[in-house]
Structure 1
Amino acid sequence: MPESLTLANLLDDAALLSLEHQLHLAEVLGDHDWNVDLREQRFEFTGSRPIACSRFHLLGTAAPSTGSWLWAWANPSGFPAPVTQASLTLRDFGHRYGIAELSSPEVPFSALPGSPAEPYLAAAVLTEAAKAVTGLWTSYGGDAGGGTRVAFLVEHPAFLLPPPEPARVVRVIQQALTDLHLSDHRRALYGYAVRRGLGAAFDANHTRLTLTGPAFTATADFDHLGRVHGVNATLGS
């Protein structure tokens, strides 16, 4: 990664690929519940399709009582090292690139982009950043009691994305542009294409990005502020 990097960059890097993974996770799990035993290092989904995660990573907790996020590595309760290792990786990454939100033990909600008031929104911000750093793209958040939200990265072969499918790629792009707050549209779309194994090329003026994949071509046009103002896709052979 470049020597200059911000939290906003990480959020853009994660946005679309994270969205696609979460859509896929919802399809895989269907109606479900979950349970975790941190000491025994066990995370399971129950319901129509029970799944015991092959690995999971505790990132941290967002508490309404303090209005802050606490990274797992800094939690005084103490947890097994394999469960908190990802949070330590993020701490070290934050120190390296000067991203205080990753390296500080506790992060006030007010210090995060948009100053989210709700714990689940604060947890979502730092979970997205964690994905861009770790390369682990599937997350799960739940109620830890008292309004506190806990966030995990979860792993299982069923959570891996299938090969890119044209209609799904177009859906992800359109939904991301509608529902997500992207600081840098060019960075977000280009990064998604590269990470998803699609072809990606800007024109000479960086006003158009062309994405290509199996039976799929899409062009995104950018306005003078760098925002996408139009996407045209062609599906089929």
Structure 2
Amino acid sequence: MDDAAILSLEHQFHLQDVLGEHNWRVDMNAPVFEFTFPSGESLVCENFHFLGSAAPGPGSWMWSWANPSGFPPELTALAGSVRDLGERHGVAELTSAEVPFTDLPGAPESPHKVVGPLTEAAKVLTGRWTSYNGEVGGGTRASFLVEHPSFRLPAPDPVQTVGLLQQAVSGLPLTDHRRAVYTYGHLRGLNPAFVDDGARLTLSAEGLALTVSFDEHGRVKNVEGSFG
């Protein structure tokens, strides 16, 4: 969860900027995943992946590869690869066909909170970082990973990166700030490096040089840097 947290948040912010006001529809048989806008224009994802669904009735998450409805193999293959990694590393939540809400971090009770942890795990394990979830009837919520050129992140912006880190450490349920920020820097190509016995972490790229300081408990204390 810590490994996925910050890069996932950045992708979701970018997705919100790209989509704005919109409607969505998915046809599992076509298969088509389409966003439509008030202007009448649309954006179609040629590649998307159905991860699973959280249903309030049974109070459980069901992985797409286990759904008895049956879906085209290309839509569930990515979820299947997550299952395979779970089997390799002994992670029951990734290998069980159904996962009770109570088995997830914090024991969430509502489907929209349940999709988060499992979707985040799928992101960091597959390298697909843009997700979308929505209600599909009866309170059940389905989760997808969606791909489109418009969803790719632009080059890191110094000011936005500082704001992102501040929002992440103040708003996300991180358990290890050092790990979360280091992994984000690594995945984002920011050349992360610890200095002063781990008390500080430097992030650097063209036009960006940041230093993240941690307190005695390992929590982010300060983010400062130079731009340009």
TM-score (norm 1): 0.93
What's the secondary structure of 2:136's corresponding residue?
strand
Residue by residue over 1:56-110, the C-alpha shift from the partner in whole angstroms, topping out at 9 and shown as x without a partner, is 0000000111111000000011100000001100110100011111111111111
Structure 2 unaligned segments of length 5 or more: list them: none
4+ long deviations beyond 4 Å: none
Q: What is the deviation of 1:215?
A: 2.0
Amino acid of the structure 2 residue aligned with 1:19: L
SS at match of 2:192: strand
Tell me the CA shift for residue 204 of structure 1. 4.1
Mean CA deviation greater in 82-91 or 45-54: 45-54
- Offset, 1:223: 2.0
In the alignment, what sits opposite 2:30?
40
2:166 counterpart letter in structure 1:
Q
Aligned partner of 1:107 among 94, 99, 102: 99
Are residue 122 (structure 1) and residue 114 (structure 2) matched?
A: yes
Q: How large is the RMSD of aligned CA atoms in angstroms?
A: 1.1
- 2:199 corresponds to which letter in structure 1? T
Contact 1:166 / 1:214 at 8 angstroms: preserved in 2? Answer: no
**Deviation string, structure 1 residues 164-221 (Cα, Å, up to 9, x no partner):** 1111211211110111011111111011111111121101411111111222222111
Partner of 1:215: 207
Shift of 1:130: 0.5
- Aligned positions of 1:130-209 closer than 5 A: 130-209=122-201
Q: Is the 8 A contact 1:61 1:70 kept in 2?
A: yes
- In the other structure, the counterpart of 1:5 is none
Question: Is there any run of 5+ residues in structure 1 with no aligned partner, and where?
Answer: 1-10
Q: Which amino acid aligns with 2:23?
A: D
The answer to whether 1:58 aligns with 2:50 is yes
TM-score by length of 2: 0.96
Q: Contact 1:166–1:213 at 8 Å: present in 2 too?
A: no
Q: In 1, distance between residues paired with 2:102 and 2:211?
A: 37
Please give the alpha-carbon distance, in whole angstroms, between the structure 2 residues aligned to 1:100 and 1:166. 39
How many residue pairs get aligned? The number is 226
Contact 2:162 2:223 (C-alpha < 8 Å) held by counterparts: no
Query: For residues 92 and 46 of structure 1, what CA distance do their matches in structure 2 show?
Result: 35
